[in-house]
Structure 1
Amino acid sequence: MASSNFPTLLYLHYWAGAGHAWQGVASALGPNYPSLAPDLGGFGGAPAPAGGYSVDAYADSVAAYIHDKQLTRYVLVGHSMGGKIALALAARQPAGLMGVALLSPSPPTAEPMTEQDRQDSLKAYGKPDQAEKTFQTITTRPQPPAIKEQIINDNLRSSKGAWDAWLLHGSRENIAARLCDIQVPCAILAGDQDQIMSPSVHGLETLPLLPDDTPLEIIGGAGHLLPYDAPEEVAALLHDFISRLPLR
């Protein structure tokens, strides 16, 4: 396949993360794969989405970004929160969308989070010791010091509006009824050591709502932060997924 035939990979990052979380995956895929990885509203260096912090408001902002970048052939690659946003956008059947790859996605139904965990996460905002604790929970494989610092710093520079809105509202939204409108190939990637959302969550809550023959790929020894824990495995699976997409 010639490099010009590859669609653009539009990466959507996880809650309390930033677009540069995808650097390892993009590097492993190589320069033949055009890619974009914006910061989502309220995270990284991005301002709040114009329409607020709902899943649809985020989908609106991604749609506007696609329009601004004049993308005509692209694949949405969404991780955790970014996965739910990708699903909401894909259900709109936007022009140019060729496929959707979901990494440990937040399910289209409410996330499996206890009220105690929700309250603890709300209180953890802006606290370095809690950011360190979160890092230990969402990664499994050893990370270089610079990457660990990046993950923790991304957590700490999240805006409070975006932080609270996802915990109180976005993670609880139910967009399951819309997923029947997704008409492009999909794939789910999950780590078998994910302490946030186990592969069974994806198999029960997301997979049955996606197109037939959607695979659920399990990456051994990886936790929730797949772009950091397993960039090369993710890149290989994305390559396989993209290679099977119909060219159009």
Structure 2
Amino acid sequence: MRSAAVNGTTLAYVDEGPREGTPIVFSHSLFFDHTMYDGLLDRFTREGFRVVSYDHRNQGASAPAPRGELDMDTLAEDAAALIEHLGLGKCHFVGNSLGGFIALRLAARRPDLLLSAASLCSSAEEEHQLEQFAPLADHLAAHGAEQVIDTLMYIMFGDTSLAERPELCAPWREFMVRLGPSIGDSALGVIHRDSLVEELSGCRVPVLAIAGSEDHAYPQPTSGEHIAAAAGGTHVTVESAGHSVALEQVDVVADHLRRHFAAVPAPLR
């Protein structure tokens, strides 16, 4: 991986594909890292896109950070700074869950950086399950993920994946079991976020909201219809997928993203 010193932190990232290709930036979910997009990265680099996939501060191989620097606004500023640091020009920005919160903030606040935004299993609203998620985040901050791994797997994957796809779920279960207490600080930043609905009014960036039919965290209409209505965008629902739709239905998501990208004029390079 490469690293970039941006916005007061150091972000780890991969940068693949032809330099002259239209850029796509992938932003991962809480509890994961950039490798959740390996399947999409492989597909889009083969198709001639330049693909950047990075780890958020305090996650993956990026630098640790204190709780006070893990709010969604700071993470969105990190993403903007990385885009500028890499000289990408305007890019497509794709985010799953936490990454979707960032995608929508960039669409609302930094249209100068984006060709389009895609929000996967995310929300433009404040956290509606705060009473349920706050104790979980507090436990993570005190003890790490091991004791609550079953709960995390239920939140992050759909019923079909959990029942029928051990080859997908087992490696991520092992990954999440190893997460230490610092992940709780990132989780608190996720759930204590502000609504973005008013900011998205009049959004000038094409927004696609992808929902999973088995999402236990942000089901429709939160993750699809509501985002599309707020941003003047479009939404789709992917069957047999939970909260990690980018992992659970890679081919279907890739097809939706291709159509979304194709509807946007290519940038002048």
Q: TM-score, normalised by structure 1?
A: 0.86
One of 240, 244, 248 as aligned partner of 2:259: 240
User: Within 2, Cα distance between the matches of 1:95 and 1:245?
Assistant: 14
Match of 1:113 in 2: 129
Q: 5+ residue gaps in structure 2?
A: 1-17
Higher deviation after alignment, 13-22 or 145-154: 145-154
Match for residue 216 of structure 1?
235
Give the secondary structure class of the aligned counterpart of 1:218.
Answer: strand
Write the letter of the residue equivalent to 1:192. Answer: S
Aligned 1:91-130 pairs, distance under 5 A: 91-105=108-122, 107-124=123-140, 125-130=143-148
1:139 equivalent in alignment to 2:160: no
**Residue 223 of structure 1: how far off its partner (Å):** 0.7
Q: Secondary structure at the match of 1:190?
A: strand
Greater relative contact order (Cα < 8 A, sep 6+): 1
Please list, as runs of the form range in 1=range in 2, the aligned pairs for 1:155-170 lying within 5 A after superposition: 156-157=178-179, 160=182, 163-167=184-188, 170=191
The code of the aligned residue for 1:224 comes to H
Classify the secondary structure of the residue corresponding to 1:37: strand
1:21 maps to 36
Q: What are the residue-to-residue correspondences of 1:67-106 with 2, within 5 Å?
A: 67-105=84-122
Q: Which residue of the partner structure matches residue 46 of structure 1?
A: 62
Deviation at 1:226, TM superposition (A): 0.7
1: distance between equivalents of 2:152 and 2:239?
21
Aligned to 1:172, the other structure's residue is in SS state: coil
Q: Distance in 1 between matches of 2:180 and 2:198?
A: 30
Residue 172 of structure 1 pairs with residue 193 of structure 2: yes
Is the 8 Å Cα contact of residues 97 and 120 (structure 2) preserved in structure 1?
Answer: yes
The structural deviation recorded for 1:147 is 5.6
Q: Which moved more, 1:116-125 or 1:5-14?
A: 116-125
For each residue in 1:127-149, what CA deviation from the matched residue of structure 2 results, as whole angstroms up to 9, or x when unmatched? 32422442244223244547632
Note closer, same or farther for the CA distance 1:89–1:128 as it changes in structure 2 (3 Å cut).
Answer: same
Change (3 A) 1:128 1:173: same
C-alpha distance in structure 2 between counterparts of 1:200 and 1:238, whole Å = 20
The list of structure 1 runs, each at least 4 consecutive aligned residues, that deviate by more than 6 angstroms after superposition, is: none
**Does residue 72 of structure 2 align to residue 55 of structure 1?**
yes
Deviates more, 1:113-122 or 1:66-75: 113-122
The alignment covers a number of residue pairs equal to 242
Q: Deviations over 1:180-230 (max 9, x none)?
A: 25211110111101111111213454222112xx22111111111111111
- For the 8 Å contact 2:144–2:184, the answer to whether it is kept is no
Counterpart for residue 185 of structure 1:
206
Identity %: 20
Greater strand proportion: 2
Alignment-mate amino acid for residue 55 of structure 1: M
- 1:200 equivalent to 2:221? Answer yes
Determine if contact 1:42/1:49 at 8 Å carries over to the other structure: yes
Using the alignment, how far apart are the partners of 2:53 and 2:263 within structure 1? 23
Say if 2:22 and 2:91, in contact at 8 Å, map to a contact too. yes
- Partner Cα distance (1:121, 1:170) in 2: 8
The residue aligned with 2:50 is 34
Contact 1:191/1:198 (CA < 8 Å) preserved in 2?
yes
Relative distance call for 1:42 and 1:7 in structure 2 (3 A) is same
Q: Hey, what's the Cα distance between the residues in 1 that align with 2:235 and 2:174?
A: 29
